[in-house]
Structure 1
Amino acid sequence: MSAAFLPARSAAEAAAGAQHYPQASVYMVATPIGNLADLSLRALHVLGLVDAIACEDTRHTAGLLQAFGLHKPLLALHQHNEREAAQQVLERLRRGERVAFVSDAGTPGVSDPGARLCAEAQAQGFRCVPVPGASSVTTLLSVAGLTEGEGRFAFVGFLPAKGADRQRALDQLAQQPLASVLLEAPHRMASLAKDLAALGERRLTVGRELTKQFEQVVHLPCGGLAAWLSADASHGRGEFALLLHPPVAAGEDAEAALPPATTRALDLLLQELPLKTAVRLCADITGTPRNAVYQAALARRQQAGEQDA
């Protein structure tokens, strides 16, 4: 073992070596999403222990292993060949080998390949062992400032690229009562900003290049995302994780957020139409963000129910 790698490898052995690592198992190993130091000691120990490593990009993973003085057989397993490559992993498992799987960054199986591999291995009676570590989702959540009542969240990941599927996903997102975590590539951020603008003042936490040298976390209203992106060319670079905060709770706060003219229009429409139709027409007529109108309409329905009771 090279002296350059001795401290980290020795620390990994001391910290994780006593744990049981069953043979004929797939180890789903989380890798850094930008900062090499985020590789855990247990992950380092497992990568040194396994017989082979399946990975998204063999060149990328070879660089990671080289940084810690490791050399292992690498198998390419990515979104385009996961079903076929999983069979190679299964053959190794049948021989009693330990096989790790790593994505290019972060936790495998979360908007990355790995889920199909796990499903097929488990269907054949093999164990899948999680080795946790870096995740853009939990990294962003830790600094988003969600209060105790807002702590539950929905993981959305990447929205459909276009068409009816994307619009359907955006409509569901607008009505989601929980905080929602989105992932997005830099070349699609302008399109996402345009779509989220309809949510107006709803709070958004944007994580750009999380854990990397130029990491940036900003809090702004959905309607301000486009302006923030255009304010500095660097704002549109890198990988993004975004947290759409829960909508304003139904009640007085939701009602107070509406302009008086919107409130009057909503009251009239609710007297004659179903809630969703009234909300859509009110938003279209007044230009008020649909989500704000929807929350106010829910508050009115709730208050009417309490009065009837």
Structure 2
Amino acid sequence: MLAMTLRRFNLLILAVLACGFAGAVRAATPALHYVPNLAKAGDRVILDTRKADLCEEASLPGARCLPAEDFLGQGQRLAGFANIAWLLGSAGLTGAEKVLVVGGNPVRRDFVAGLLHIMGQQDIAVLAGAITGQSAKLAPGEARAMLREQVWQAPARDRVLVFINELRDLVTAGGPPQLLDGRPERAFWGRVQNAARGGHLPGAEHFPAVNLRSAAARGKVRLPRPGPAVVYGAGPVDGIAYMTLLIAGGADVRVFPGGWAKWAANGALPADAETFPAPAVAEGAAGDFKFSTGVIAGLSAGLLLGGGLVVTAMWALGRRKVV
């Protein structure tokens, strides 16, 4: 009898542990992750990050239009936190919803997903496939309201961000544990200059975003070395999209949103593989050069003609003396 009671007690303990383990597995689902299709997404608020006209014409059923361009100001600069919170409120979001981020351009889609993560959105799934490849029938998307419909309430995950002064201090002190550059190889080595100068941050490793998308969709990104990392791209759009890939892939990263463009603009900051754009010839200067060449050519012709007249005159004078 005692043995049976102990067996039942053990079975009860195992059942409790199993339930706890299952709950832990469910809780382990990251707040930012990819899903292959709508069936895997579940019941979520759909956010379409394509341009407003495309979204409003045809999107997934019930989708709200939240174009990536709305978060950018002049010169592709990232809007401030207050403006981003207002924009999200105008899309009817508070931060407590479960959302599904969709789009056509994967970089801009992941940029918006990363912004939502930074702003504190509770649960973000990113549709890895194209909108048109889904089984659902398309319908017009819902345009973002001109006025704020909800107040954004989620606390920001500001620990994810690294600003330029902090990064400068980290670099001068020997660098963060890992510093990863997600740009293409030619940009990393300064062979192309899309900023004030070419190159990369001191000590940065090349870990291009283009090679990570399939691994991130499986949630299995492996950094060059274990441990946390600071990551960046050319600017805020591709940099935050790069962060999205890595966090969804299970990596512990923070992002420098200004990217290489922000760093390169300050000539006092150090760089590796540093290059500079070739100086461009001003249009006015080229015109002046052509004008000067024309003047010189005209003077030369005039001198030759004048010389010819002098020779002719001397020949005529000599002949007159002979006669």
If the length of structure 1 is used for normalisation, what is the TM-score?
Answer: 0.28
Higher RCO (C-alpha under 8 Å, 6+ residues apart): 2
Q: Which has the higher strand share?
A: 1
